[in-house]
Amino acid sequence: MELTWDGVLAWRLRRQFLDPVGSASAVEVVSRLCGVHAQVSSAAELAVAVRQTDPRVGALREALEDRPLKDRPLLKTWAMRGTLHALTVEQAPTFLSLLAASRSWERAAWQRAFLSAAQLAALTEVVLAALDGRVLGREELVAEVAERTGDPRLVEQLRSGWGAALKPLAWQGMLCHGPARGNRVTFTRPDTWLPDWSGLVEPEQAARVAIPAYLAAYGPATPEAFDRWLTRGVSKKGALRAWFAALEDELVTVDVEGQQGYARATDIDELASSHPSQVVRLLPGFDQYVLGPGTNDTRIIPAGRRALVSKAAGWISPVVVAGGRVAGTWETTADALAVSLFPESGTVAREALEAEAARLGAVLGTSLSLSVSSV
């Protein structure tokens, strides 16, 4: 089957609650997007809000932290590409299982940079014991590790805000974030924090859930695109091929303007009948619409503009999306919204930008004055 990128991008906008914006809850948005990037909490909240007709400030935080013990549908943990994500309790064991399958912490380069195998084993033992039914702040956890191991290297690594030493534990389902204490993070164990936590499943079983879920929002896509989104491309290649091969009854190969990829068989009719979208959306930094296919996908971001979207230190800019493609960036200061458009992306109607500015202002609780310039 041959498809067009205009049709595919219109389908993705629809699947991701962007055209039209829907009435989905924060949990439903997180589920459909296969997680929401949560390195910056305000951006994560906005990523949910811009997909809702009636957004509520703090809805994501409430689902993460404020629900009663028996009803905690989300967790926050290091997940895809080693970055913090809000994930549903139902989906997290599958994505984490595939992340753990790469065993990246067993590589010599990782151990030279962070911890030896023996140090990581010692850290794992202490953390599992310290967080059993408890929620600890970073310094509290550091103190426990220092007391029980006396290893200054472990203490040094734990104090790093990047969390490299704790990511292998997160990927193996042994650790997640607890409720924040102001601007300070806490840690706990998902099996004692989440009553519905199932534990990790085998990678082969996890792939049968995770791959279709990804394709349901970001397809059609290649196995390599899926792996870049998941692990930055470090999954074992034989395992990656086997995961997709095992889904041959559920997936079909399609051609999108000469690029072959996989799609769910159940999506084919809708993909084939999708017409180009004219919608304009202002999406926050780190939005899944661009992170799902990756910022190096030139069908989404013009090749010469990637540096304006994917910036230094891993920062992903807020973007203007027109017709499914990134047509510029934006930023707010106080009550001002400054939009910078890419001239090569074509005309973006001022009226559409004003409508989005009003919608964004309503979410942020302010009236935004719009200015538009060309890059």
> Within this chain, do residues 108 and 249 fall inside the same structural domain, yes or no?
yes
Mean pLDDT of 33-54: 97
Range of the domain at 155: 1-276
The yes-or-no verdict on residue 20 having pLDDT over 80 is yes
Q: Which two tokens stand for residue 364?
A: 């942020």
**Using CA atoms, how far apart are residues 33 and 29, in angstroms rounded to an integer?**
6
> Within this chain, do residues 270 and 309 fall inside the same structural domain, yes or no?
no
pLDDT confidence of residue 267: 98
Cα dihedral across residues 179, 165, 44, 313: positive or negative: positive
52-109 pLDDT, tens digit per residue, is: 999 988 999 999 987 776 688 999 999 999 999 999 999 999 999 999 999 999 999 9
151-173 pLDDT, tens digit per residue, is: 999 999 999 878 999 999 999 99
> Within this chain, do residues 345 and 248 fall inside the same structural domain, yes or no?
no
251-301 pLDDT, tens digit per residue, is: 999 999 999 999 999 999 999 999 999 999 999 999 999 999 999 999 999
pLDDT confidence of residue 37: 98
285 in a structural domain: no
Q: Which residues of 257-267 are buried (b: 16+ CB within 10 A; e: fewer)?
A: eeeebbbbeeb
Number of domains the chain contains: 2
Angle between the 203-218 and 92-101 helix axes, to the nearest 10 degrees?
110
pLDDT confidence of residue 67: 76
Last residue of a domain, one of 226, 244, 276: 276
Q: How many other C-beta atoms can be found within 10 angstroms of the C-beta atom of residue 311?
A: 14
**Using CA atoms, how far apart are residues 144 and 110, in angstroms rounded to an integer?**
24
321-332 pLDDT, tens digit per residue, is: 999 999 999 999
Question: How many separate helices (H) and strands (E) can be counted in the chain?
Answer: 18, 14
What are the Cα distances from residue 208, in Å, to 129, 204, 213, 214, 218? 32, 7, 9, 11, 16
Q: Which residues does residue 374 pair with via DSSP β-bridges, in sequence order?
A: 341
The CATH number covering residue 347 comes to 3.30.300
Average pLDDT, the chain: 96
> Within this chain, do residues 201 and 318 fall inside the same structural domain, yes or no?
no
pLDDT confidence of residue 69: 66
207-227 pLDDT, tens digit per residue, is: 999 999 999 999 999 999 999
Last residue of a domain, one of 276, 309, 326: 276
> Within this chain, do residues 364 and 314 fall inside the same structural domain, yes or no?
yes
Q: How many other C-beta atoms can be found within 10 angstroms of the C-beta atom of residue 17?
A: 21
> Within this chain, do residues 126 and 29 fall inside the same structural domain, yes or no?
yes
Q: Residue 209: CB partners within 8 Å, gap ≥ 6?
A: 91, 94
pLDDT confidence of residue 349: 97
Q: What is the pTM of this model?
A: 0.97
